[in-house]
Amino acid sequence: MITRRTAMMGAGGMLMVRPARAQHVHHGFDPAVPQPPSRLVRNYRMPSVPLVDQTGKAADLAAELQKPGPVLMTFIFTTCPGICPILSSVVAATTDALGPERAGVRFWSLTIDPDHDGPAELAAYADMFGAGPEWRLFTGAPGAIGAVRLAFEADSDIKMAHRALYLLRIREASWARFEGDVTPEHLAGAAREVLAAQS
């Protein structure tokens, strides 16, 4: 079983939060070759669609984005054998790196396999990565999840080869899009910049 600890531990038990890779190895990607991180700023509008989090609580993320503040968003699925544990380990390490400042950041992970991932599956996955109350995982009808992926230009990936993508809301509809060898330090630093700008 993959746990937050095993996902973050390398050979010999040394702590190793590996940066998220661009796609799965079995699609020809060489994980030994670092991919420099990229940061692009895009304007995205969250569609108003019904979702539910790992506790069973209903959510409309478009309405929740009316509240200011940084949001770090990823797309995952709970049975993913490759990139998702890495993505989630980086998110977990980012919450650790932020320390008390994480209380000002919202962390959202949306499943791309809503047919399998219900609240119970997401809750078990959240437990594996030690998710605190600031980290919510969402599912919904396939059409609702598809609308979110389309709105954030994350709909072109097939499930087993989706990209290592992190989205950080800077302000209103402005989002920073991170891909490549993104580390917790990259994400924590960017979140701190957003927090400082709004204070």
Mean pLDDT of the chain: 85
Per-residue confidence (pLDDT) for residue 127, from 0 to 100: 98
Closest CA to 15 of 5, 27, 23: 5
Indicate which CATH number applies to the domain containing 74: 3.40.30.10
Q: Kindly tell me if the per-residue pLDDT of 154 is higher than 70.
A: yes
Compute the average pLDDT of residues 113-117: 97
The rounded percent of the chain whose pLDDT value lies above 90 is: 72
Element (H or E) spanning 174, and its range? strand 174-179
Tally of domains in the chain = 1
pLDDT per residue over 33-86, tens digit each? 556 678 999 999 999 999 999 999 999 999 999 999 999 999 999 999 889 999
Q: What is the pLDDT of residue 35?
A: 60
The closest alpha carbon to 74, from 101, 39, 110, belongs to: 110
Torsional class of 90: left (φ above 0), alpha (ψ -120 to 50), beta (otherwise)? alpha
Q: What is the pLDDT of residue 177?
A: 97
- Both tokens of 58, joined, read 């209903």
Range of the structural domain that residue 35 is part of: 4-198
Per-residue pLDDT, 38: 84
**CA-to-CA distance for 58 and 76, rounded, in angstroms?**
19
Structure pTM? Answer: 0.82
